[in-house]
Amino acid sequence: MEYSHDTISAISTPLGIGGISILRVSGTDAINVVSKIFTSKTDLIKQPSHKAIFGRILDSGKLVDEVIVTVFNAPHSYTGEDVVEISCHGSTFITNQILQILLRNTRLAEPGEFTQRAFLNDKIGLTQAEAVGDLLTAKTKISHLTALQQYEGSLRSRIEKLLTQLTDFRTQLELEIDFLEQDLDEIDNDNLINGLTSLNQELNQLAKTGEEGLIIKEGLKVSLVGAPNVGKSSIFNSFLETERAIVTPIPGTTRDYLEEVISLNGYLVRVFDTAGLREATDQIEKIGIKRSYEIIKDSHKVLFVIDGDENKKEYDTLSKLVDKNKIIKVLNKADKFDES
């Protein structure tokens, strides 16, 4: 991975109107660049690390904004380089104006480049760098907690422990092969096999947690499936507690899938209301049903909705698309059932 040593700058907060916006500058020339456009009672170059200072940003002697500037001296910064953060008023115009001034002597940072530099300067590991993105996009309590644990190094520590064990086993085997005639103690094959078996089990378990982590991050995909007019859209609206889907007595009202996200006990769940399982009658309907089939195949769980009839034909169609273990039958329209 190529490392660029030039000084970079970028807006670190979302664009829009708010109380403040923050711009970040990182690189060997970061403090010097900002000092040329920032004026205060204290010289920025002499400012101690991790201290905030009030002042003004000037452009050719004209006031741009009153700001708070914080200096982070290398290597005690997020990127491991000299870093300066400028907190200005949260106007899109003001923020972009300050950025344009900075870009006269810096380069615009690439997406994720501050975190990339933190990784290349050994401030964070690869798994922690990935966790930064997960923290920024966390939508639920569980996804936030998982990303936070990964950022704190829980996954990195676990991987390092497994790599150490693997290296120990490899070293034992290489010694056995390379110094066969040196009268060294022979390897205890039973202990070696047991150790490798245990390591393999831990690796499989770690891989499984990776799949679970993907579900936590992207959400558990749940599809509502069934024949036309069995009440899928009504259940979908009930989950969301809002009239998201159009509900009518006319079969085939939903011609394409709908998707919404809910938080269930802190877990992200993506709910899909699919078009009814049926033979398409026109081109638009065919496209909608094809899309629904793709969503169904990719779902973790499928709620097969029936309204009193067995719907065997639709169930057979569904069981060809997904594993039967993913299918959960849901009885809807209780008023249509025989009380006996």
Domain membership of residue 131 (yes or no) is no
* Single residue among 123, 147, 181 that ends a domain in this structure: 123
If asked whether residues 261 and 177 sit together in one domain, one would say no
Greater confidence, 184 or 156?
A: 156
If asked whether residues 207 and 232 sit together in one domain, one would say no
Helix (H) or strand (E) holding 144: helix 141-151
Domain membership of residue 114 (yes or no) is yes
* Single residue among 69, 88, 123 that ends a domain in this structure: 123
If asked whether residues 146 and 67 sit together in one domain, one would say no
* Rounded CA separation 312/81 (Å): 65
If asked whether residues 36 and 110 sit together in one domain, one would say yes
* Single residue among 123, 151, 181 that ends a domain in this structure: 123
Domain membership of residue 128 (yes or no) is no
Beta strand ranges found along 155-227 (DSSP E): 220-226
If asked whether residues 74 and 116 sit together in one domain, one would say yes
If asked whether residues 64 and 89 sit together in one domain, one would say yes
If asked whether residues 109 and 207 sit together in one domain, one would say no
Note down the domain range covering 253. Answer: 220-336
* Rounded CA separation 300/304 (Å): 13
If asked whether residues 86 and 104 sit together in one domain, one would say yes
DSSP code per residue over 151-220: HTTHHHHHHHHHHHHHHHHHHHHHHHHHTTTTTPPPP-HHHHHHHHHHHHHHHHHHHHHHHHHHHHHH-E
What's the mean pLDDT in 35-43? 93
End-to-end CA distance of the chain: 71
Write out pLDDT tens, residues 97-140.
999 999 999 999 999 899 999 989 988 877 777 777 777 767 77
DSSP 76: S
pLDDT band at 250 (very low <50, low <70, confident <90, very high): very low
- The number of folded domains in the chain is 3
* Rounded CA separation 71/49 (Å): 5
Contact present, 139 and 261 (Cβ < 8 Å)? yes
* Rounded CA separation 124/337 (Å): 60
If asked whether residues 111 and 203 sit together in one domain, one would say no
CATH number of the domain that 277 lies in? 3.40.50.300
* Rounded CA separation 111/43 (Å): 31
If asked whether residues 140 and 243 sit together in one domain, one would say no
DSSP 274: P
**Is pTM beyond 0.85 here?**
no
